[in-house]
Every structure is written in structure tokens, then in C-alpha cells.
């Protein structure tokens, strides 16, 4: 028996990296997963490999979110969980002086607005069924001030929206929590370049980067009934990086 047996989970950004790891973990634990992404070829491949379904989803589109929620309810009858995993980095890592407004807006649209739209789309079904778990993937950048003002702003927003949603939805037995990964072995880390990666990992007290599965296992716990009294929490998965 898997701890997600019988549950239907929507995972955004599920085509690769951390999202793909979460798709595989959830499936192994007994869940039916609706894999969503804008990377159609990769998303379909992961869905086919795991026996799930793939839907194209631009998380900044309310209409596409509505379609995903409607499909899931029509196909499976309920929505038990959502992992708001899709996100983008701010590649120039600029601050308030050097960040172009179009860059700022693009990061906010995906990371912040996309997370809001996901919660907005699934909450009515979860309220109706009096059960559900939403897991929002933030970052250690949502816990402290760092460079990359747009990315930091978006991840702080995810943290704050999580707490607001947890307070709002708690009476309906809908739990909402955020996960705050540190240096995790995904494209977002690898894109930093070798020197930056080595510098970042040198700041981690555990002296290593984390794996997508280590974040994914935390998400699986929060989706499961084992976390039935955990809501509004922020769980840091970073090898103690935030202590530095």
C-alpha cells in the first residue's frame, strides 16, 4: 500500500528535473498524476513512462488552469493534491538598480502569478470535497534577502500566499504548505556555472548539493495523510544553507 493510494495529484513543471522526480515518486506511492508543463515532448514522455496523463499548461494562463482542473475532475472525479513546482530563474541575477522591468514582470508572472492561479483553480474542488493538500515550491530565496530581486520577490510572495491560503482554506480541511529548496541538482543550479555552483555548495554546512528526490520526498509527505495536521508551514530543504 502506498501512502498516496487513490489520490489524484496535479504537478506543474513535471516534464523534467524536480517536477519529473515528483511525478515518479507520486506514481510509485500509488497516486494518479496529471503531468503538466509547456515542454510537450518531455512531458508526454514522463507521463507515458509512469502511466499518467499529460496536459500542456502555461501556468500564467487562467484559461489553461481552468482546463486542467476541469479535465482532472471529469477524468478522476476529484483533485486531492497540487504541487506548484513550475518556476523560472532570473538569469541576470540583478538587483533593484540593474533589473529590467520586463525581466522582473516575467519572473513574477510565472513564479508568483502561476502559483496563485494554481491554488485558485483547484481550491473550489478541494473545498467541495472537504479535503486536499497544496504544496507550493518556494526557495531559500523566499526566506532571506539575496541577489536576483525578481526571483527573491517571487519566492517571498509564494511563502506569503501559502500562509494566506492555509488560513483561508483550513476550515475546509485543505492544507497548504511551502517547501524552500536550496542548492538542488536541477537545470536551475547547473545554469549558474561551475564556479558559482562550487561557491554555493561551499556555503552548505552539509557540504553537498541536494537531489530532486530529496525535495520530492518532502512534497510526498505533505501530500499524504501523514501530514494531516500540518498547514501553513515552511519546510526548508537545503542542508542547513539558511543557517549561514
Q: Nearest to residue 147, comparing CAs of 194, 185, 200? A: 200
Nearest CA-CA partner of 176 in 82, 108, 99, 48: 82
Residue 212, φ and ψ in degrees, nearest 5? -55, -35
Q: How far is CA 87 from the centre of its chain?
A: 8
Largest CA distance in the chain: 54
Catalytic residue among 54, 104, 116, 151: 151
**In whole angstroms, what separates CA 138 from the centre of its chain?**
7
Indicate the angle between helix axes 212-223 and 17-28, nearest 10 degrees.
50
Concerning whether 151 is annotated as a catalytic residue, the answer is yes
Q: Strand 81-84's sheet: what is its strand order?
A: 53-56, 32-37, 8-11, 81-84, 132-137, 174-181, 234-237
H helices within the chain, ranges in order?
Answer: 17-28, 40-50, 62-76, 101-107, 114-129, 149-169, 187-190, 194-202, 212-223
- Inter-residue contact 241 to 205 (CB < 8 Å): yes
Query: CB count, 10 Å around CB of 230?
Result: 15
Q: Which residues of 41-75 are buried (b: 16+ CB within 10 A; e: fewer)?
A: ebbbbbbeebebbbbebbbbeeebbeebbeebbee
Residues serving a catalytic function are 151
Amino acid at each position: 500500500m502506498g501512502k498516496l493510494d487513490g489520490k489524484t495529484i496535479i504537478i506543474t513543471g513535471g516534464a523534467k528535473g524536480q517536477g519529473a522526480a515528483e511525478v515518479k515518486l507520486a506514481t510509485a506511492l500509488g497516486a494518479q498524476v496529471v503531468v503538466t508543463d509547456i515542454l510537450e515532448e518531455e512531458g508526454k514522455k514522463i507521463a507515458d513512462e509512469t502511466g499518467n496523463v499529460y496536459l500542456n499548461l502555461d501556468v500564467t494562463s487562467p484559461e489553461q488552469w481552468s482546463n486542467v482542473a476541469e479535465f482532472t475532475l471529469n477524468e478522476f472525479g476529484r483533485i486531492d493534491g497540487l504541487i506548484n513546482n513550475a518556476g523560472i530563474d532570473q538569469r541576470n541575477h540583478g538587483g533593484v538598480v540593474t533589473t529590467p522591468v520586463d525581466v522582473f514582470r516575467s519572473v513574477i508572472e510565472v513564479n508568483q502569478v502561476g502559483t496563485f492561479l494554481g491554488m485558485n483553480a483547484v481550491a473550489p474542488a478541494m473545498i467541495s470535497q472537504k479535503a486536499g493538500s497544496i504544496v507550493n515550491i518556494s526557495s531559500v530565496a523566499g526566506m532571506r534577502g539575496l541577489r536576483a530581486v525578481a526571483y527573491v520577490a517571487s519566492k517571498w510572495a509564494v511563502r506569503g500566499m501559502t500562509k494566506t491560503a492555509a488560513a483561508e482554506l483550513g476550515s475546509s480541511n485543505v492544507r497548504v504548505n511551502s517547501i524552500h529548496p536550496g542548492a538542488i541538482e536541477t537545470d536551475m543550479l547547473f545554469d549558474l556555472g561551475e564556479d558559482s555552483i562550487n561557491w554555493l555548495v561551499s556555503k552548505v554546512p552539509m557540504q553537498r548539493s541536494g537531489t530532486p528526490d530529496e525535495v520530492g520526498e518532502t512534497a510526498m509527505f505533505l501530500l499524504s495523510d501523514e501530514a494531516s495536521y500540518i498547514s501553513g508551514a515552511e519546510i526548508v530543504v537545503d542542508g542547513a544553507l539558511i543557517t549561514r
